[in-house]
Amino acid sequence: MKRFRLAALLAAAAIALLPATAQADVTYPDPLPLTGQQIIHDPTVIHLESGGYAAYSTGGVIGARLSKDLHHWDDAGNAFAQPPSWWYEYNDTGDPWAPDISYRSGRYWLYYAVSSWGTNHSAIGVATSPSGLPGTWTDHGKAFTSETTDTWNAIDPAVIRADGRLWMAFGSYWTGIRMVELDRTTGKAIPGATVAHLATRPDAPYAVEGPYVLKHGRYYYLFASYDQCCAGVNSTYKIRVGRSTEVTGPYVDSTGKPLLEGGGDLLLAGHGRYIGPGGESVFRDHGRDWLAYHYYDAEDNGTPKLGLNRLRWTPNGWPAVL
């Protein structure tokens, strides 16, 4: 799970005094009905070239789920049989978080984060696979790192190609969402590359994380998770979005408010049993865009589960969930 920070823990304690229904907003559509292994956190989903779907997530050694139809999901073990040795530089248990899967140059690419709660001594790693299936990944080490002297946190990666170049959005608290350019061959950050600033909050602890960037039409869309995750039915996670004509920003919401000034259109929030949606990613399947995320099931003791919703695009070019 993504790490708790002191301020977030205090916020969660205060939220725990409120009933979960206080967060409900029944105007949001429910996720796609699923069967099988639904427990997941921070999902990244892809339609495999060989057919079927793979989802990777926080938990285990990057937990894996497989599906033939998006509706029924089976537990498929882990991306790796055991943690690569360098992960232990960042936590004692070799615990990875928030992966991102993509396909380019004939290979699948898996990015993920390793860190410890409450610190930005963090790293984003990269692995490749010919099939995208669990057990086939080769780890290539660190793609990007952050230290306690940095004003950003190298977790929650999300990779996008733009104008022949490769970029990675990342970030959690520590002034919010950032972006760095990657070498297209190695998949690792270009040495000395400028770290762009995409989104933040005006108030500490700058509770925005888990970015995902998508190109649609002439715009790049930045999705991010705001507020508190990882507190079961007391989570206040929600997904907001902004857009820009350039991948590195500036991103603004539909009112023109910059995401660097706390802007962001609310795309999905808790409603009914589906509490605290976040840890989102977007994948394309048969010409349609899908939003993948986790939510905390209020009817199952706050267990984190996989949420899938179709995305539609309004005439003004903004995403909405179906």
pLDDT tens sequence across 24-33: 444 899 999 9
Among 307, 243, 315, smallest CA distance to 275 is for: 307
Mean of the per-residue pLDDT values of the chain? 92
Q: Give the phi and the psi of residue 117 in degrees, each rounded to 5.
A: -60, 135
- Write down the pLDDT at residue 15: 35
**Catalytic residue from among 95, 139, 156, 209:** 209
Among 269, 289, 272, smallest CA distance to 281 is for: 289
**Catalytic residue from among 42, 95, 227, 265:** 42
Alpha carbons 249 and 70: distance in angstroms, whole number? 33
Please indicate whether residue 42 is annotated as part of the active site.
yes
In the chain, the domains with their CATH numbers are 6-321 (2.115.10.20)
- Write down the pLDDT at residue 181: 98
Q: Residue ranges of the chain with pLDDT lower than 70? A: 1-26
Helix (H) and strand (E) counts in the chain = 1, 21
Q: How many CB atoms lie within 10 A of CB 14?
A: 11
136 CA to centre of own chain:
22
